[in-house]
């Protein structure tokens, strides 16, 4: 009985790995060491991903007309949502359900720079740029750009503090540069 369970678990891991390879090639581009759950929801053709990126389980990255650009060294906790579009709600005399025409401002890209950590259940909406070195708290609703090296949280999200002070940031960058050489 234990052997059967081990075979089933092993088979699931193989299927998951194969799906990750096959579906990974559907992304607009992807770097090395990119880990994601192939059973989650992605608008593959509009998503570009850098190297060393981990996307936690339960992700929903939806982009019908705009891009989602993800840098390198980025981590997403479980159940993160990124949506690059919304609906035209300004048509007079029509129910919102019936409006088909979108405006250019209804679809805007989301850009996540390098070295970002997005916490569990965060929601990132259209037109947002998250600066490098930033941390997004669990459950945050991101409606505006996040400056580099910021820690943000809340609904809607606001800056809680800087990740590093100026001296720490300088030292951090120097140490990272020395690792690359």
Tens digits of residue pLDDT in 92-120: 898 888 888 777 778 899 999 999 999 99
The pLDDT of residue 36 is 93
* Angstrom distances, CA of residue 123 to CA of 35, 59, 92, 101, 139: 20, 10, 29, 25, 7
pLDDT of residue 15: 78
The 3-state secondary structure of 99-110, one letter per residue: CCCCCHHHECCE
The catalytic position among 13, 16, 87, 158 is 87
Q: Which residues pair with 53 in a beta bridge?
A: 34, 74
Query: Is 172 annotated as catalytic?
Result: no
Higher-pLDDT residue of 120, 43 = 120
Contacts of 148 by beta carbon, 8 Å cutoff, 6+ apart: 113, 131, 132, 133, 134
pLDDT score recorded for residue 122:
99
- Does the pTM of the predicted model rise above 0.85? yes
Q: Is the pLDDT of residue 1 over 90?
A: no
Domains of the chain: 2-180 (2.160.10.10)
Confidence grade of residue 148 (pLDDT, cut at 50, 70, 90): very high
SS3 42: strand
Q: For 16-27, how does the pLDDT look when each residue is reduced to its tens digit (9 = 90+)?
A: 778 777 777 889
């Amino acid at each position: 009985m234990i052997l059967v369970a081990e075979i089933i678990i092993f088979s699931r891991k193989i299927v998951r790995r194969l799906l990750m390879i096959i579906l990974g090639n559907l992304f607009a581009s992807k770097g090395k060491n990119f880990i994601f759950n192939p059973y989650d929801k992605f608008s593959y053709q509009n998503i570009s991903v850098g190297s060393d990126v981990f996307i936690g389980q339960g992700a929903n990255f939806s982009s019908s007309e705009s891009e989602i650009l993800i840098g390198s060294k980025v981590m997403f906790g479980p159940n993160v949502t990124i949506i690059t579009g919304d609906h035209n709600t300004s048509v007079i005399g029509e129910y919102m359900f019936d409006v088909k025409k979108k405006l250019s401002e209804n679809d805007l890209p989301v850009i996540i720079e390098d070295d970002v950590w997005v916490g569990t259940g965060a929601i990132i909406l259209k037109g947002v740029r998250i600066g490098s070195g930033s941390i997004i708290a669990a459950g945050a609703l991101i409606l505006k750009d996040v400056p580099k090296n910021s820690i943000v949280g809340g609904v809607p999200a606001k800056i809680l503090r800087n990740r590093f002070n100026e001296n720490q940031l300088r030292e951090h960058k120097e140490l990272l540069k020395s690792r690359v050489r």
